[in-house]
Amino acid sequence: MELKEKIIELSREIGISKIGFTTADDFAYLEKSLQASVEEGRNSGFEHKNIEERIKPRLSLASAKTIISIAVAYPHKLPIKPPKSHYKRGKFTPNSWGLDYHHVLQEKLDKLARGIETLTADFEFKGMVDTGALVDTAVARRAGIGFIGKNGLVISKEFGSYMFLGELVTNLEIEPDSPVDYDCGDCTRCLQACPTSCLIGDSTMNAKRCLSFQTQDKGMMDLEFRKKIKTVIYGCDICQICCPYNKGIDNPLATEIDPELAHPELLPFLKLSNGQFKEKFGHVAGSWRGKNILQRNAIIALANANDRSDIPKILEIIDRGQNDIHVATAIWALGELAKNPNPAMIEMVASIKSEHEGILKEQRAFLAKYDQV
């Protein structure tokens, strides 16, 4: 059996959904678009900063000859629904269900590398998962995992776009695979469905306008985006939900999923301490941004759930004043939930003394709504 076939067989044993091989040649065609994204301020800021390292695999491994791209499919429907609750629930998007996909992929890449070491001598490699230098989607496309859709995600006929991606940059000489022979065609459903029009149409986007970015960005969430996140407290899946390639897809579990963590109760979520948050949610991908930002999103989600029984918790957040971003967001949420606030509510907001720009802005907007300015 040739080395390539042995590696493919090994990948199946490890639980890798799809594997592809490509050369370690430069991805020179990416340079112009990557540079434009930086210059036009469309980057999220989470990307690897050095563009040259993003397009030249041999800057990551000098002996690089072949890149092995892997995909691990994951489900987009909860295998078990969370139990009924009198609390409103928020949502983590499917890429943050179960164990952090960085750990899932890294474990499989490690097993793959250890397995290859038993097959060939003088094996050199560099593993990458999401946070590495290379552009995972570009590697996967060239290795035949799938094509890059107009939403910027890698899409395959077998698993749709619900795939985690990683790669091993290696010194092996292996025959490369070819890119797939299908694509989006004339379909523009994701462009039409995106609520913020962040998709440009050429597989690139204005990442700062993506709702997934908005749920991870620090500070106040701009007013434009608050209602659009609905009750999602981490991520955005709209451009995947509408994609025809995802219709009828029923991917296997990549990791065990607790439905209570995938769709957490919002009010209890807001009561979590730092320690409780880490203990309960620390293993999921969405936890990387920390409790405070996700709780900010949960306050917005409470307002979007439009349940007036949540008003006492909103008032408590304002009254405690422990986190300026939470207070400012809660003032906005109070204005959304309390259509006709009583004098005590108005007085509470009016009496806030703060120099925080977000609080002052939301305070003025709230009071102006009720002719108190």
Does residue 88 form part of some domain? no
Q: Is 224 helix (H, G, I), strand (E, B) or coil?
A: helix
Label residue 216 by pLDDT band (50, 70, 90).
very high
Residues 218 and 144 in one domain: no
Q: Which of 355, 295, 372, 301 is nearest to 333 (CA)?
A: 301
Label residue 371 by pLDDT band (50, 70, 90).
confident
Does residue 11 form part of some domain? yes
Does residue 184 form part of some domain? no
Does residue 86 form part of some domain? no
Helix, strand, coil in percent for the chain, rounding step 5: 45, 10, 45
Q: Which pTM does this prediction carry?
A: 0.95
Percentage above 70 pLDDT, the chain: 99
Tell whether the model's pLDDT for residue 250 goes beyond 60.
yes
Structure tokens at 299: 């306050």
Across 355-367, average pLDDT: 97
Q: Is 17 helix (H, G, I), strand (E, B) or coil?
A: coil
What's the sign of the alpha-carbon dihedral 295, 299, 305, 311? Answer: positive
Q: Where are the alpha helices (DSSP H) in 42-121?
A: 51-55, 101-117
Predicted pLDDT of residue 1: 63
Which helix (H) or strand (E) element contains residue 18? Answer: strand 18-23
Give one word for 259, left, alpha or beta, with left for phi > 0 and alpha for psi -120 to 50. alpha
Does residue 183 form part of some domain? no
Tell whether the model's pLDDT for residue 253 goes beyond 60.
yes
Query: What residue type is 51 in one-letter code?
Result: I
Predicted pLDDT of residue 131: 77
**Nearest-angstrom CA–CA distance, 239 and 242:** 6
Residues 284 and 340 in one domain: yes
Predicted pLDDT of residue 146: 98
349 burial (CB, 10 Å; 0-12 / 13-18 / 19+) is buried
**Nearest-angstrom CA–CA distance, 159 and 251:** 6
Domain that holds residue 225: 189-369
Across 199-225, average pLDDT: 97
* CB neighbour burial string for 146-163, b if at least 16 within 10 angstroms, e if fewer: bbbbbbbbbbbeebbbbb
Residues 293 and 365 in one domain: yes
**Nearest-angstrom CA–CA distance, 255 and 61:** 30
Kindly report the CATH number assigned to the domain that includes residue 166: 3.40.109
Beta bridge partners of 72: 164
Residue after which a domain boundary falls, among 170, 198, 222: 170
Residues 215 and 154 in one domain: no
Tell whether the model's pLDDT for residue 143 goes beyond 70.
yes
**Nearest-angstrom CA–CA distance, 211 and 291:** 18
**Nearest-angstrom CA–CA distance, 209 and 137:** 20
Residues 138 and 206 in one domain: no
Tell whether the model's pLDDT for residue 145 goes beyond 70.
yes
Label residue 78 by pLDDT band (50, 70, 90).
very high
Predicted pLDDT of residue 160: 98
Does residue 358 form part of some domain? yes
Does residue 144 form part of some domain? yes
More confident residue, 370 or 98: 98
Cβ of 292: how many Cβ atoms within 10 Å?
Answer: 15
Tell whether the model's pLDDT for residue 23 goes beyond 90.
yes
Structural domain count of the chain? 2
Does residue 134 form part of some domain? yes
The verdict on whether 222 is a catalytic residue reads no
Across 229-234, average pLDDT: 98
Q: Which of 26, 130, 183, 258 is catalytic?
A: 130
Tell whether the model's pLDDT for residue 373 goes beyond 80.
no
Give the tens place of pLDDT for each residue, 287-336.
999 999 999 999 999 999 999 999 999 999 999 999 999 999 999 999 99
Task: Supply the mean pLDDT for the chain.
Answer: 96
